[in-house]
Structure 1
Amino acid sequence: MKQPLGVILAGGLSSRMGGGDKGLLDLNGKSILSHVIERLEPQTAGVAINANGDPTRFSNTGLSVIPDSISDFPGPLAGVLAGLDWAAAQGAETIVTAAADTPFFPCDLVPQLMLATEGMQNPLALSASRDPQSDKLWRQPTFGLWPVALRDDLRTALQDGLRKVILWTDRHNAGLVEFPVGRVDPFFNVNTPDELAQARFLAEG
């Protein structure tokens, strides 16, 4: 399998943070988005940002900004579809998605997802992490490997009203990769001012 393209999902409404782009918030001297880019770029063949509204707010990244093609903010699957359409135009076979508000995701995210989809006709896999207290396994649907070959299937599902990532990925027997939780949950994301303060503390460590 060729190295996938990377798509950073930044299309959320950030309602719990009071609006605006969570990824542009400062995390110890640079934006959360900058931390995400630095982790994703070395693992992929190129990176773009999925975001709606004025794309110039991301101009300092130098990355392409691709908006949703489905209206009314239908959620992360719309960002995945936008990424798949962007990748298809470049002749790519797959994309890997990462959330713009999750600065500590694994540095081996892409190779582990690729390993889990070896032999699949349509390589599709999601990340997961286990809660150390409850031992419950949580799927992390915004961190996944997605095949360009399924983009029309996804488009149809979205047009039919499907919004939950897991419902669509289960239809296609997606693989699941569990990443260990160490000192920091690799999928810790910033949704509130308190979580931003916690992320700053974790980043210092």
Structure 2
Amino acid sequence: MGGGDKGLLELGGKPILAHVIDRLSPQVEALAINANGDPERFAAFGLPVIADNVEGHPGPLAGVLAGMDWAAGEGFDLIATAAADTPFFPESLVHGLYLGMVSERVPLARAETAREGGFDRHPTFGLWSVSLRDDLRAALSGGTRKVIAWTDPHGVARVVFDGEDPFFNVNTPEDLERARARA
């Protein structure tokens, strides 16, 4: 996509990130944006912008840790995460993840979709217990980078969501055109 912020691309007259915020905000008590670089590019959204607090931008887990640290400072026990380039995720995402987490008595939940012969995992769509942040910080310091490599040993509820490609994300110009047609 040319190296820019995919969430700032226009979809239906507003940035993709605005669609994400519109879907997620009724599901949570507070929102923040995890982004590195100049936070001013997100000023129009009126949300706190938190950067990774781990050197070297080691991937999505660093963003989760930044979110956990922010949430702990705000007095929250859980954080929900969603990708900024995925405008059509379920409006029941957080509720479904929470039900999975509580029913399985585990500290984490991730979204999945069924496909022929198995499931597709969507680990950036998750519910995370803030109590695991020191463990996550240690794992990142030890070189862990894959989300599933860190989450699965802790116990994670796998919550299956239905619908027309609910976790479709915009990665290419063709995806953006498909998203525009779908919107």
Return the TM-score normalized by structure 2: 0.97
Residue 175 (1) aligns with residue 150 (2): no
Aligned to 1:58: 42
Larger helix percent: 2
**Could you say what secondary structure the match of 2:82 adopts?**
strand
Calculate percent identity across the aligned residue pairs: 60
The whole-number CA distance in structure 2 between the counterparts of 1:19 and 1:116 is 35
The answer to whether the aligner puts 1:34 opposite 2:14 as a matched pair is: no
Matches for 1:16-95 after TM superposition, within 5 Å: 17-95=1-79
**1:136 and 2:126 matched:** no
* TM alignment of 1:73-152, pairs within 5 A: 73-118=57-102, 123-131=107-115, 134-152=116-134
Q: Which SS does the other structure have where 2:102 is aligned? A: coil
Cα shift readout 1:136-195 (whole Å, capped 9, x = no counterpart) = 301100000000100000000000000000011111011110001x3x200000011110
Deviations 1:98-121 (CA, angstroms, capped at 9, x unpaired): 000000000000111111111666
1:123 Cα shift? 2.5
Moved more, 83-92 or 65-74: 65-74
4+ runs deviating over 3 angstroms? 119-122
Equivalenced residue count is 183
Distance (whole Å) between structure 2 residues aligned to residue 89 and residue 32 of structure 1: 28
Measured after TM superposition, the shift of residue 197 of structure 1 is 0.6
For 1:11, the equivalent position in structure 2 comes to none
> Gaps (5+ residues) in structure 2?
none
